[in-house]
Amino acid sequence: MKIIKRIGLIVLILIIITALGGYIYFDRKFTPEKNYLTVENESGKIPIQWIGEDKNALLIPIHFSKDTTTYYLQFDTGAVYTEFYSKAIEKLKEVSIRNERAAASFYIGKMKITSDLIKISNTGKPSDKNDPVKIIGTLGADILEDRKTMINFRNNHIIFNASHQPYEFNNNLIDFKFKKRKIIIHGNLNGKDEKFLYDSGTSAYELLTNKENWENLKLPHSKIMVEKAQSRPNILTTYTTKTNHTISFKNKSLPLNEVTYVEGFSQTQYILMKFSGMSGMLGNKIFLNHKIYIDCSKEKIGIE
């Protein structure tokens, strides 16, 4: 009997050690490195430019001091780093590359961003002077860290590094978590308290969730729209259909008209979702008639 108890104790200890080791591994794996952006000044009102009729991507115009061309970064709150696309910056004189990192100083409105450690991804296309919209990278959630940001979808502009909180949000803020540079908001959906990631990179969707939730939320016999999309390095297949539910936050309720699930995510992405306890991702589409104020210094968010 003592041997059985000892074996049981050893097995229990091994399970605890394995679980703890797994937690530490994934915690470190998804912890971003230190923010490498230096930011000065409030941006002022920055006009939003959209790609596609369905507003598939949210673009932010940027300028270099000695280049009159307007370039664009895709604003993606699901990305923890701002990065440049290798092929798109090949001919840019104001971007220098060393040790697989980019050094640059650029402007978003009146806001100046400087770094010599900007990540470079092996993507994009060579910059062509005839391209009407020159996209050279991604503006990630690092631009939000410790700062105030107003995303005004109603009037189609954004204010980065805001100097003060807009008056309309004085009594209209709820808590959120800016965990590992991910915006995680609690809301109630279908009678359950859920955690949602706000990911502006999934711009054309209202809610992306798993297949089980999708089945529970979709309207019976509603048409299913199937689309394929590139998400580095995978090809994703999305299934979107109608729903008539509401996502309720502490002081704001948003109608949910469509729900989507995705096939093709990498195992790492699935593990991240499960590890964080998130039920799904909110894209820009659910917020298009609203304003969002995000204060990452206090982890407060308002939806108006």
The verdict on residue 208 lying in a domain is: yes
- 276 sits in which H/E element: helix 267-276
Tokens 């290798």 locate to: 86
For residues 91 and 139, membership in a common domain is answered with yes
The confidence score (pLDDT) of residue 274 equals 58
132 and 237 fall within a common domain:
no
CB atoms near residue 45 (< 10 Å): 14
Q: Please check whether residue 24 lies inside any domain of the structure.
A: no
Render each residue's pLDDT in the chain as its tens digit; 304 residues.
545 444 444 443 434 443 333 334 344 445 888 999 999 999 999 999 999 888 889 999 999 998 999 999 999 999 999 999 999 998 899 999 988 899 999 999 999 999 999 999 987 677 666 678 899 999 999 999 999 999 999 999 999 999 999 988 888 899 999 989 999 999 999 888 999 999 998 888 999 888 888 999 999 989 999 988 665 556 778 899 999 999 999 878 999 999 998 887 655 555 556 555 677 889 999 999 999 999 999 999 999 9
Structural domain includes residue 94: yes
Residue 290 falls within a domain, yes or no?
A: yes
Residue 15 lies inside a defined structural domain of this protein: no
Q: How far apart are the first and last CA of the chain?
A: 65
Across the beta sheet with 45-47, what order do the strands follow? 45-47, 157-159, 148-152, 291-295, 300-303, 174-175
pLDDT at 227: 87
Same domain, 180 and 284: yes
* CA neighbor of 272 nearest in space, from 214, 176, 174, 195: 195
Mark whether 246 and 136 lie in a shared domain: no
Q: Does this model's pTM top 0.75? A: yes
Phi/psi at 25 (nearest 5 deg)? -60, -50
Whether residue 85 is contained in a domain is answered as yes
- pLDDT at site 268: 54
Q: Is residue 117 part of a domain?
A: yes
Residue 278 and residue 206 share a domain: yes
| Single residue among 143, 178, 193 that ends a domain in this structure | 143
Model pLDDT, residue 270: 54
Whichever domain contains 77, its CATH number is 2.40.70.10
Does a structural domain hold residue 18?
A: no
- The total of structural domains in the chain comes to 2
- The enclosing H or E element of 99 equals none
Residues 102 and 191 in one domain: no
What is the domain range of residue 267? Answer: 169-303
Rounded CA-CA distance 182/37 in Å is 17
Is 138 in the same domain as 173? no
Q: Give the C-alpha separation, 47 to 6, whole Å.
A: 67
pLDDT at residue number 19: 37
Structure tokens at 279: 């039920």
> Contact at 8 Å (CB) between 165 and 110?
no
Q: Which residue has the tokens 């937690």?
A: 23
Q: 190 and 295, same structural domain?
A: yes
Q: How many CB atoms lie within 10 A of CB 66?
A: 7
In this structure, are 210 and 121 located in the same domain?
A: no
- Strands 134-139 and 192-198 come out as unpaired
pLDDT score of 5? 40
Q: Is residue 136 domain-shared with residue 184, that is, in the same domain? A: no
